Amino acid sequence: MTPTTLDMPVVGMHCAACAGRIERALGAAAGVEKAGVNFASARATVTFDPAVVTPEGLRAVVRDQGFEAILPEAGGGAAAEACEAEYRRLRSRFVVAAALTAPLVILAMGGHLVPALGRVLDFPGRAWAELALATPVVFWAGRDFLVGAYQSARRRAADMNTLVAMGSLSAYAYSLAATASPGWFAVAGHGSHVGVYYEVAASIVTLILLGNLLQARATARTRGAVEALMGLSPRTARVVRDGRELEAAIEDVRVGDLVVVRPGEKVPVDGEVEDGSSNVDESMLTGEPMPVAKSAGDAVVGGTLNGTGSFRFRAKKVGADTVLRQIVRLVEQAQGSKAPIQRTADRVAGVFVPVVLTLAVATFVAWFDLAPPETRLAQATLAAVAVLIIACPCALGLATPTAIMVGTGRGAQAGILIKGGEALEAAQGVTAVVLDKTGTVTEGKPAVAAVAPAGPFAEEELLRLAASAERGSEHPLGAAMVRAAKDRGLSLAEARDFRAIAGRGIEATVDGRRVLVGNAAFLRERGVEPDEAAADPRATTAYAAVDGAFAGAIAVADRVKPGSRDAVRRLRAMGLDVVMLTGDADRVAREVAAEVGIDRVIADVLPAAKADAVRALQAEGRRVAMVGDGINDAPALAQADVGVAMGTGTDVAIEAADVTLVRGDLHGVPDAIELSRATMRTVRQNLFFAFAYNMIGIPIAAGALYPFTGWMLSPILASAAMALSSVSVVTNALRLRGFSIHPTRE
């Protein structure tokens, strides 16, 4: 049976070690081929054999690890609701913890901060009052940490919960023993009050809850692109059934339904206009600011906004098959993916907690041996707790995925769909960009470039007669003439006695006149000598004759897209080699290349040989991005280090590519590469910060500065530093939301 890929949100993860534990459990499950869990996006992506294991079975694996997974059948609303419920639960626990910790800190430290308060706060039973305040913070507000640590221990694993639970419980247990039997402990700097550290235990829980709360809020902002895309789809559609117009839920629209769209409404699903006309704003998907005219025969996309007209269209794609839902799926997969650079962080996170536990024990032993006898237990305990708390691997686990989430989300907003972290990382290293010509550099459909009449014929009369004769032809050149005549407002006549000669031309009677349109040989066969000097070297030239006399030439060319030249200039300014790769004739290819500023051209290439051409460039040491739009480009797109498909191209090309440009604008290529560079730069900054934070913070927490300054890091400050480190990594990633896209695409 064909493997199936399941993408499901996971609720309750607190760090990268949690994600790693779930990933290993899923990967070891029967029938699972591949599993990945992204801590930042809180999603698990599993490729599995449905004949061996079901989605419910995979959900049970996640539950067995102490977390909750939400299956797609529950709907995106269920996932959002679960995440919102988790956020509210965190918030309520933090509010209670903060309300109890604030007076606890005042009781414990007020006399040190304000000496006049010392006499007021130093009362009999103060330690018991602190115990009363700290207990609900540690065991109710911090319950998740304790339960998580217990579940990890049962599975012989360790994660952030282990560190927080051990740190808070160590301080709490020491203080409880000192409160119950004060004679066993020496006074440790608290005046006449026995040295207890309830404020440390409570502050650890409170500050880490605050960090988790801020992290949850900040990480939710990285999912804004997907939420914005989902919000584009209307909830209902107006369909015509049995001759009556009905309002139906969007889920009830079926392929083949006739759908009515009124002024100002959103198009509910994908389809083709049958009657009516309007201008549709497609900027939500393509980034194109100008509305697009739609009339009979034109395609419309679900989620786009209708203008002042109204029309009816036949539904072609509904549900998960619509362009909007496919884009959402691509973005979710990309945001849940891992870049190769993340493997280093994952390996470190996998061994990080056991190493920290070892360092905490070593710190305790060292201080217990070296500190003065009267304070050694207190100092050893506080130093070990500080090491446990400051070393949480959250920042390390968030460094890469948050940047990838924001980067791919920003790309989606501009119509640049990046399939995953691997493609995003590969794009930053591109050194050569290979451009297909037709449909990529050029518009991909022939258009009349010039009309050169001869004899008594005027330009518009020649075009009218030729287009009228070509109305019955299926040839692309004829279709270009018909479009050009309509664009000029010419009234076409009916053609009679139409006859097409394959590969040569057509003949027909228009307004009682015999019209020939074809190549030079075709006219000569019918006794007409064409003037080949009128031929345009950059275009395909069709010659026309009317009533046996040469009437002129019509040049049809595939015009260069308006932004192609500027886009090529941007690529070259970025230090990239630009190559044109096409199956067209060398002469035509070089004309187009010269027009857009490309020096190197590989022409007359068969589809199968395009991949060989890309392979040859890679053999020269280049990292190649291939840009194309047709079925014949698919092998080259797959061969390239990064395949970029024009969204206006074929499904095969888009499927084979790593990046899809929804709008089909060549400016999307430098935008995608620049976005990749900016994202990976942010990843490296985050990883540097996360590693540096731990390399500096752990020795300080262990007391490395004490011999020189006499200063020890308080566990309270360690908790604050740990919480802020995670938030700072996410905040740095969020800067990518302001990444500048080329003006023509926004």
The size of the chain, in residues, is 746
Is residue 536 within 8 Å of 639, Cβ to Cβ? no
DSSP β-bridge partners for residue 677: none
C-beta separation of 34 from 47 below 8 A: yes
Residue of 436, 558, 633, 658 marked catalytic: 436
Q: How many helices and strands, by DSSP H and E, does the chain display?
A: 26, 25
Task: State how far the Cα of 733 lies from the Cα of 537, in Å rounded to an integer.
Answer: 51
Distance CA 312, CA 241 (A): 13
Angle at CA of residue 27, ends 22 and 31, nearest 5°: 130
Residue in the structure block whose two tokens are 């064409």: 530
Which residues are 262's β-sheet partners?
none
Tokens representing residue 458 in the block: 């005027």
Neighbours of 364 (CB within 10 A): 22
Cβ-based neighbours of 415, under 8 Å, separated by 6 or more: 285, 286, 287, 647, 661, 662, 663, 665, 668, 745
CB-neighbour burial class of residue 707 (10 A; exposed 0-12, middle 13-18, buried 19+): exposed
Rounded (to 5) percent helix, strand, coil in the chain:
55, 20, 25
Give whole-number Cα distances, 127 to 112, 123, 197, in Å. 16, 9, 9
**How many angstroms separate the CA atoms of 657 and 597, rounded?**
25
- Contacts of residue 14, defined as CB under 8 A and 6 or more positions apart, other chains included, come to 144, 145, 148, 159, 160, 161, 212, 394
Residue 286 to residue 307: CA distance in whole angstroms:
16
Instruction: State the burial class of residue 632 (Cβ atoms within 10 Å of its Cβ: 0-12, 13-18, 19+).
Output: buried
Helices 198-222 and 75-113: crossing angle in degrees, nearest 10, is: 150
3-state class (DSSP) for residue 186: coil
Phi first, then psi: what are they for 343, rounded to 5°? -60, -35
Residue 334 in contact with residue 408, Cβ under 8 Å?
Answer: yes
Residue type, 642: V
CA distance 677 to 675: 5
Contacts of 31 (CB under 8 A, 6+ apart): 48, 49, 50, 51, 52, 53
Rounded Cα distance between 576 and 642, Å, is 14
Q: Active site includes 436?
A: yes
List the structure tokens of 326. Answer: 């496919």
Q: Which residues does the annotation mark as catalytic?
A: 436
